[in-house]
Amino acid sequence: MRFGILSTADIATGSMIPAIEDSPHTVAAIASRDEERAREAADGIDAAPETYGSYEALFDADIDAVYNPLPNALHAQWSRRAADAGLDVLCEKPLAVDTEEAEALFDHCADEGVALMEAFMYQFHPRTERAREIVREELETVRNVASTFTFSLRGDPDDIRLSPELAGGSLMDVGCYPVSAARGFLGEPERASAHALDTRDCGVDTELAARLEYDEAHAQLRCGFDTPHRQCYRVDAENGWLAAENVYNPSGADVSITYSVEGEERTEEFEGVDAYRLEVEAFADAVESGDEPPIGREETLANMRVIDAIYGSADRGERVPVDE
């Protein structure tokens, strides 16, 4: 598959472009609003991608698919433009600003006959798959999931993650991962409650805590830009527990799960893998086979519904249902 990269965002240059180049696929084109930045991003890439000084020009390149890492508020707009050009789309999370926009984008891509996948790369790491398997097969009656994703966002007050116009905020940037993890272990919640802080007076949540309610369980989620980096989850069940650190952006060889079943504690370690490369390969394989991508419409919409409910609760100061 020949990919066009829609912008020179850090996640594109630092993670996705190397992952594509390490896969059987190629980076064939890179676009930026500044062509010099596109040329800099292309330096050293064996495939010698074409470079463009506008996003629109990318759609005329000799490519099969577009990777879209633009700011959140631009995801749907430019993914739709790619679909109009007949290109399959791998779009960074969150796919859209809310469920309604995400659903409309899936409908549009289906009408245009192109594939659309939300790029939630942590789901492709073998540890994520194994953790869900352990919880599903060995832990009985899960009662609680707790997950955190925080980091200290310092420096530029104009960072896009602090922009309400670009759909910034800690929930959209990193909190969507704990939402996904809780759903991966417990399924779909019935209600959500949340409290958000805007500690930078910027118009978005910079700290947020949420509670998801199930018939016989609950989940506590935390995300934010004000405290040191941490990304973890813990699952507690009647016969044991499971816990892991560095779960959403695992790197290097220090990747493990520790869990206890009926009092017997075990630790499983995983070899270092590039989950971005696994994501790229899974997307391309689905396109080639004509199958729905592994992170498909229902998964993405279910996650967005919970995000919408969390924001609704934070805005209104009350528990709100997670709409079906």
For residue 165, count other CB atoms closer than 10 A to its CB: 10
* Residue 31: per-residue pLDDT: 98
Residue among 25, 81, 93, 183 flagged as catalytic:
93
Q: Quote the mean pLDDT of the chain.
A: 97
Instruction: Tell me which of 124-138, 203-217, 247-261, 276-290 is least confident.
Output: 247-261
Q: Which strands sit side by side in the sheet containing 255-261, from one edge to the other?
A: 264-270, 255-261, 240-245, 230-237, 142-150, 218-224, 207-213, 191-197, 320-321
What are the residues facing 240 on neighbouring strands? Answer: 237, 261
DSSP line for 87-147: -EEEEESSSSSSHHHHHHHHHHHHHHT--EEEE-GGGGSHHHHHHHHHHHHT--SEEEEEE
pLDDT tens-place string over residues 239-292: 999 999 999 998 766 799 999 999 999 999 998 899 999 999 999 999 999 999
* Residue 253: per-residue pLDDT: 64
With cut-offs at 50, 70 and 90, classify the pLDDT of residue 324. Answer: low
Which distant-in-sequence residues (6+ apart) come within 8 Å of 293 by Cβ? 115, 116, 117, 282, 283, 286, 287
Q: Let me know: does 52 contact 35? Beta carbons within 8 Å.
A: yes
* Residue 250: per-residue pLDDT: 85
DSSP line for 236-253: EETTEEEEEES-SS--SS
Integer Cα distance of 119 and 99 in angstroms: 16
Integer Cα distance of 267 and 244 in angstroms: 10
Q: Is 155's pLDDT higher than 90?
A: no
Q: Say if pTM beats, i.e. exceeds, 0.75.
A: yes
* Residue 47: per-residue pLDDT: 87
Integer Cα distance of 208 and 293 in angstroms: 31
Integer Cα distance of 171 and 315 in angstroms: 13
* Residue 156: per-residue pLDDT: 83
103: annotated active-site residue: no
Q: How far is CA 214 from CA 142, 189, 324, in A?
A: 11, 5, 14
Domains of the chain: 2-119 (3.40.50.720), 123-293+299-321 (3.30.360.10)
Q: Let me know: does 210 contact 173? Beta carbons within 8 Å.
A: no
Alpha helices per DSSP H over 170-296: 170, 176-186, 275-289
3-class secondary-structure state, position 16: helix
Which distant-in-sequence residues (6+ apart) come within 8 Å of 36 by Cβ? none
* Residue 198: per-residue pLDDT: 98
Six-digit token string for 295: 């992170």
Nearest residue to 185 via CA among 229, 130, 222 = 130
With cut-offs at 50, 70 and 90, classify the pLDDT of residue 44. Answer: confident
Decide which of 250 and 136 is more confident.
136
Decide which of 46 and 145 is more confident.
145
